[in-house]
Chains A and B, each alone.
Chain A
C-alpha cells in the first residue's frame, strides 16, 4: 500500500511537470486567429534585484496596455509579453534565457542588473535574438557583440558623473566606496568612480561586503573614522535600504551617493523621517514628462498587482520609465523590420531612432545609446519623495 502510494505521488509529480511544459509551443497565432508577436521580458522577479526588476517590467506592461498592437508589413499584430524570471542570479540566467528562446520570442528586453545580462548574452546570441538592455549599465553587456543593445548610459559615464558631483557639490576630498563582492555592476562602478575621483585630486577608501550581508555598521563606522566626505554605495536595493537605515542609527553625517539602483521608493522609505542626505544618479526624474507621469500613476493606482510591484505607492522609478521606452523602441524595431523574424528585427534595431520619455534614443556602433547627461535626484526625507537636484554631465 505504501509502495503504491509512493508510485502514485511520483506519477503525479511527473504529470505536473509535463502539464507546465505544455501549451507553450503554440504557433504564431492567438486564440481567435489574430497574429501575435512575442516580446521576451528577461527580468528578475525574485532575489536581490527582484524589486527593481518588477518596476522595470511594470513600465513594459504599462506600455503594452497603451500600445497593444504593432503594424508589421501592413498587418496588425497583437504584442504579447512573455516573462522569464532570472532570479537576480547569474547561474539561473542562462536557463531563464533558454526558456524565452523556447517560447519563440522575436526580441528580448532586459535585464535589470548587468551580471545576469552578461550571463545570458551567449544564449540569446546562439538563438539569433536581439536583446535590448534597459538599465544594465556595465560596459561588458554590449562590448564585443552585435546582438546586445541598450537604451541607458554606461557605468564609466555614471561613475564619472557621480565623482564630479561629489567634488562639485560637496567639495569632497575623501570618498568611501562600498560594493558587493563578485557583483560586476557594483565593482565596475566603484572602480570608475575611483578613477574619476582620483583624477580630481581626491582619495578613495574602498571595501566589499559578502552577498547576503545585513550588517553594514562596521563599514559605516570605518567611513566615519577615516573622515570620509561622501559615502558611495552603488549596491542592490536590499542592501541600500540597510545602509541608509544603519547610517542614520549610527549618526553618520556624510552624504550617501548612489547609482541608478538606489533610485527606488524602498530606499526612500528606509530614509523616511531621518536626516540622512541621499543623492542618486538616474535615467529619469519624475516630472520630466507630465503625460507619462499621469498615465503610469493611473495605471499603478487602478491595478493592485502593479501597485504591489511598485512597492505599495505610486512614486515613479526611473527604471519604470526606461522599461516603457524599451518597449516602444522594440515596437519601432519590429515595425522597421516589417517582420516578426528575430534576425530581421536585430538588423533593424541598430537603426532605430526614438524620442522617449527619458530623452533621445539612438544607438552607436557598439549598440549603446548615445547619452550625455544624467539626472541627479536628492531624497526629501521628510516627505519620502525624490526631488530633482541637477543635471550632471561627465565633462
Chain B
C-alpha cells in the first residue's frame, strides 16, 4: 500500500512538472508552428539562476528575480533567434532553436564548470510529510494543485482577455490576423513570456524534488514534456496537461516494476504509436486544408 501510494504521488508530481514545461511547447507550436527545442534548456537555466541568486540573496528576493530573468531570457531568445527568421522556411527556425539549445547547455557548462550544483532548500515545500504511510515532500502534493490553478488562469487569459483573443486569432490564421491589425510580434512575445514563466515555476517544483542541477538537467524533462505535448495534441493546452500527467504516472509506475529499464523506451514508443495512430493527439484539432 505504502509503495503504491508513494509511486502514484511521485508520478502525479512528475506529471505536473512535465505539464508546466509542455504548456510552453504547445503554446509556441500553436502560434508559430515552431517546436522550441530550447525550452527544456531554459528550464535548466532557471534552475542554475536560482542556485547562484540564492547564494547571495534571500529566497524571497531570489525566486522572483529568477522568474524575472528567465522570462527575460525567453523574450530575448525569441527576439534574437526566431524573429529575424519569421519569413524564412520553418526548418531554419527549428535549426535555430536547436542552436539556442546547445548554446544554453554549453553556457551552463561554462558557468558551472561541469560541477553538479545543489539546489537551495526552499522552506515549507521541501519539508517532508507522510501520507498513508508514504513519506514525501510537500511539493509533491502541492504540484498538481498549482498546475491546475495555473492552467485555469491561463485558460481565462486566453478566453477572456484582448491578448487572449489575439493569440487565438494568430493561432488560427497568421496572415489574416496580421491583415486585421493584430500586432503579431507582441502576441508572440507574450506567448514566450508565459511559456518561460511556467518553465521557471516548473523548475522550482522539479528541482525541489530532484535537487541537483547539471547542464543536461533540462534535456530529458524537455523531451518528455515534448512527447506529452504531442500526446495530448500539440497546440492544445488541456491536452498537454493531461498528456503530461499520463506520461509522468506511467513512467513512475513502470520504474517500480521489474521492467524499470524500459521506462524511457515506453515514453518514446508511446510517441511513435501516437504519431502513427492519431497524429493529432488526443485533443488535437483536425487540420483543414486551405486552398
| Chain B neighbourhood of A212, CB < 8 A | 216-217, 219-220
Cβ of B206 to closest chain A Cβ, rounded Å: 8
**Please, which residue of chain B has its CB at the minimum distance from the CB of A205?**
B258
What is the interface of chain B, defined by CB distance below 8 A to chain A? 2-3, 6-7, 10, 14, 109, 113-116, 118, 126, 128, 130, 134-137, 209-212, 214-217, 219-221, 252, 255-256, 260-261, 263-264
| Chain B neighbourhood of A269, CB < 8 A | 118
The residue among B114, B219, B263 with the most chain A CB atoms within 10 A of its own CB is: B114
**Please, which residue of chain A has its CB at the minimum distance from the CB of B109?**
A46
Complex Cα gap A347–B139 (Å): 59
Q: Interface majority SS on B: helix, strand, loop or mixed?
A: mixed
The residue among A215, A246, A311 with the most chain B CB atoms within 10 A of its own CB is: A215
| Chain A neighbourhood of B10, CB < 8 A | 215, 217-218, 221
**Please, which residue of chain B has its CB at the minimum distance from the CB of A273?**
B121
| Chain A neighbourhood of B263, CB < 8 A | 210
- How does the 8 Å CB contact mask read for A42-60 relative to B, with 1 for contact and 0 for none? 0011111011011000000
The answer to whether B2 and A250 touch across the interface, beta carbons within 8 angstroms, is no
| Chain A neighbourhood of B260, CB < 8 A | 207-209, 218-219, 222
A-B contact pairs, 29 of them (CB 8 A): A46-B114, A50-B113, A51-B114, A51-B115, A54-B114, A210-B261, A214-B212, A214-B220, A215-B10, A215-B14, A215-B209, A215-B210, A215-B252, A215-B255, A217-B6, A217-B10, A219-B255, A221-B256, A222-B3, A222-B255, A222-B260, A225-B256, A237-B116, A242-B210, A249-B128, A250-B136, A251-B128, A266-B115, A270-B118
Complex Cα gap A251–B137 (Å): 10
**Is A194 part of the contact surface with B, judged by Cβ < 8 Å?**
no
- Sample of 17 further A-B pairs with CB below 8 A, known A209-B255, A246-B210, A249-B128: A48-B214, A212-B216, A213-B220, A214-B217, A215-B209, A216-B210, A217-B209, A218-B255, A218-B260, A221-B6, A222-B255, A238-B212, A250-B135, A250-B136, A251-B128, A266-B118, A270-B212
The answer to whether A249 and B136 touch across the interface, beta carbons within 8 angstroms, is yes
CB contacts under 8 Å to B, within A232-255, are: 237-238, 241-242, 245-246, 249-251
Beyond A210-B263, A266-B115, whether A242 also contacts B212 by CB under 8 A is yes
Q: Which 9 A-B pairs have the closest CB atoms?
A: A50-B114, A251-B135, A218-B255, A225-B3, A46-B114, A214-B210, A238-B116, A217-B10, A212-B220
The answer to whether B214 and A238 touch across the interface, beta carbons within 8 angstroms, is yes
Complex Cα gap A212–B44 (Å): 13
**Is A189 part of the contact surface with B, judged by Cβ < 8 Å?**
no
**Is A309 part of the contact surface with B, judged by Cβ < 8 Å?**
yes
**Is A308 part of the contact surface with B, judged by Cβ < 8 Å?**
yes
**Please, which residue of chain B has its CB at the minimum distance from the CB of A264?**
B116
**Is A224 part of the contact surface with B, judged by Cβ < 8 Å?**
yes
The residue among A45, A222, A237, A249 with the most chain B CB atoms within 10 A of its own CB is: A249
Number of interface residues of A (CB under 8 A): 41
**Is A13 part of the contact surface with B, judged by Cβ < 8 Å?**
no
The answer to whether A51 and B116 touch across the interface, beta carbons within 8 angstroms, is yes
Beyond A221-B3, A238-B214, A249-B128, whether A266 also contacts B116 by CB under 8 A is yes
The answer to whether A241 and B118 touch across the interface, beta carbons within 8 angstroms, is yes
| Chain A neighbourhood of B264, CB < 8 A | 210
| Chain A neighbourhood of B109, CB < 8 A | 46
**Is A15 part of the contact surface with B, judged by Cβ < 8 Å?**
no
Cβ of A203 to closest chain B Cβ, rounded Å: 14
**Is A7 part of the contact surface with B, judged by Cβ < 8 Å?**
no
Complex Cα gap A225–B5 (Å): 11
The answer to whether A245 and B2 touch across the interface, beta carbons within 8 angstroms, is no
